[in-house]
Structure formats: C-alpha cells, structure tokens
Amino acid sequence: MTKEIAGLEEKIAKLKKKRDAIILAHNYQLPEVQDVADFRGDSLELSRIAAKVENKVIVFCGVYFMAETASILSPEKLVIMPDIQAGCPMANMLNAEELKKLKKEHPNAVVVGYVNTSAEVKAELDYCCTSTNAVTVVNALKDKEEIIFVPDKYLGDYVSKKTGRKLITWNGFCPTHIKILPEDVKREKKFHPFAKVIVHPECLPQVVGLADAALSTSQMSKFAKESEATEFIVGTEIGLIYRLKKDNPNKEFYPASERAVCPNMKRTTQEKILWALEELKEEVKVSDEIRLKAKKAIDRMLEII
Ligand code: 13P
Ligand code: SF4
C-alpha cells in the first residue's frame, strides 16, 4: 500500500469516528471502497444493517435506490452518498405513473417489486423483494390469483420458473448482467471443466439455464465458502470477484465475462468517501408521505423471510 493510500484510509477512519458514521458498501464496489467499509453485503443485508446500527451517519457506497432504502428504514439517521449520481438504470426503467397504469390494467393483482426501484415505485407495491428472497415472497402469495412482478423481466422469468407461477412482468432488465452471454459461460466451462457455475438471477434465462445455482451476490459468497468445489465461474458484476477471492484465498474465481461492469457501482472512491464525511453530503432523503407507503412494502417482505 502506498503512503498516500494509507494516509487516505487513516483520515477516513478518524473522521468516521468523529462523525459517528458507518460505511456500508455493496459487493460490487471497487476494492478500495470495500477495504474501508465496515460492512459489505447484498441489497438485503445492507438495508438490514442500516436499520440496525446505532450510528448517526450512514455513508452508503452503492447505487441510489440502496441508499434510499436505508433512509426509508432509518429516517432518523443521516444517509449520505459519496457520489449521488450513482443510479441504477434498471430502477430507472419503471416510474410510479407507469406502475399505476399497469395496476389499473390488472386491478385484482397483488404487486411485488424488486428492491431495485425508486421510493415512489416502492410506495405503489404490496411487497418488496430482493434477489435473495424473490422466490420465497412469491411462494408466500399462494392464495393470490394474479401477481404483477416488476421491473426485472429476467428475475421475473427466474421466479416464475422456480415457483410455477405465471407473473405479469415489466420490460426492465440490468444492462450489465445482460452482457454475460451463454457462449461466455460455455467458453469458461471448457477452460475450467471442474468449476461450479454461479450466476445472478438478473442474467439472461439462457445463462441461468447453464448455471449450477442462481444466487444473490452474498449468497454466492456463502455458496463459495461452503462448497467443496475449489473453482467457480461467476456470472455477475465483476466487483464481486474481489470479495470472493479475499474471503476464499484458497479457491479460484473466474468471471464469466469481463464485460459485466456496472459503471454506476464504480463511481464511488476513497477520496469521495472522505469528502462525504468532511461535508456530510450528499444526503438521501424521502418525503414522509412516500416513505411510509414504501416502508409498508419492505416491512411485508421482512415479515415473510
Ligand atoms: P444483490 O442484492 O444480489 O446484491 O443485487 C443487487 C444488484 O443490483 C444486482 O445487480
Ligand atoms: Fe442496477 Fe445492474 Fe448496476 Fe445492479 S448491476 S445496480 S441492477 S445496473
């Protein structure tokens, strides 16, 4: 580690204490960000931690909807993002007006929405879900005839296959995960015939079809740790590889595709974290009217899992 980086990390650690702040980082964040984080995790874990910790300030290193979810669950805390421009293109593919229209077209349907949505969209949901629990949430709705599932059509396809339920979906998708192609997985399997293939359910159905397991980012980490296999082909954003290698130094991880990079997840740096702590900016806040409605959908999810 260079003197400059060590200096930056030291400054972050000191200021974090002074501000009574905690740094949360999504599993796709740059290594330098993961290294200064108090917790790394997937969407579900990070929201749970945000709700539980007692610190006054949460520095959220991820994308906007994640920080917004933390703020919905902990309105008394100051939630700040080191780069507030870090959005999720999938979450931006559906707005509240579009969802209201879809609900009108299916007035009897129960509405399940991925956590990758804005607070305004969450306020229109009956249930929120994450990639960790989408199947469990839909399975819990056995008595409901019609289910709307938004915005990710590929996660919807995966959930539909796993639950045997027909879902009314939206044309949303993750521009990063669709870059992973079936031929990428097939090529890597040829190079590493003994490797297990683990992919995110946001991947194309043809890619999910080639996998040993479709899992959330933290579930992949758990799977790798617990599996007897020593080699893994990883079909998700490449940032996860850093965590997988760090947590499992004796195992090998191969990205299914080097193209799977989420540019928004890479916007946050150590320097921006330091600025955020110095200036206590940029704050992520949701109006009470939207927050209380959105929180209901998140609470209903947490009651199921
Ligand atoms: P996880 O909840 O699995 O971390 O996924 C979040 C995400 O945005 C995947 O692209
Ligand atoms: Fe959104 Fe995809 Fe980036 Fe995840 S990887 S934050 S779904 S764009």
Q: What are phi and psi of 14, to 5 degrees?
A: -65, -50
What domains are there in the chain, each with its CATH number?
3-88+265-286 (3.40.50.10800), 91-173 (3.40.50.10800), 177-255 (3.40.50.10800)
The predicted pLDDT at position 2 comes to 75
64 alpha carbon, closest ligand: 2
Ligand 1 proximity of 174 Cβ (cutoff 6 Å): yes
Residue with the nearest Cα to atom 7 of ligand 1? 43
Tokens of 299: 């609470």
Alpha helices in the chain (DSSP H): 3-19, 31-36, 43-52, 64-73, 96-105, 119-122, 134-139, 153-163, 182-191, 205-208, 217-226, 239-247, 270-279, 288-304
Determine the residue type at 282. E
Is residue 118 lining ligand 1, measured as CB closer than 6 Å? no
> What is the structure's pLDDT at 259?
98
The residue type found at 181 is L
Query: What pLDDT is attached to residue 247?
Result: 94
Instruction: Indicate which ligand has the atom closest to the C-alpha of 88.
Output: 2
In 3D space, the residue among 266, 297, 263 whose CA is nearest the CA of residue 89 turns out to be: 263
Model pLDDT, residue 44: 87
- List CB contacts of 43: < 8 A, sequence separation 6 or more: 26, 66, 69, 115, 116, 130, 131, 132, 216
pLDDT at 31: 98
Given a cut of 70, the residues of the chain with pLDDT beneath it are: none
Q: In angstroms, rounded to a whole number, what is the distance separating the alpha carbons of residues 113 and 109?
A: 12
pLDDT digits 0-9 by tens, 249-262: 999 999 999 999 99
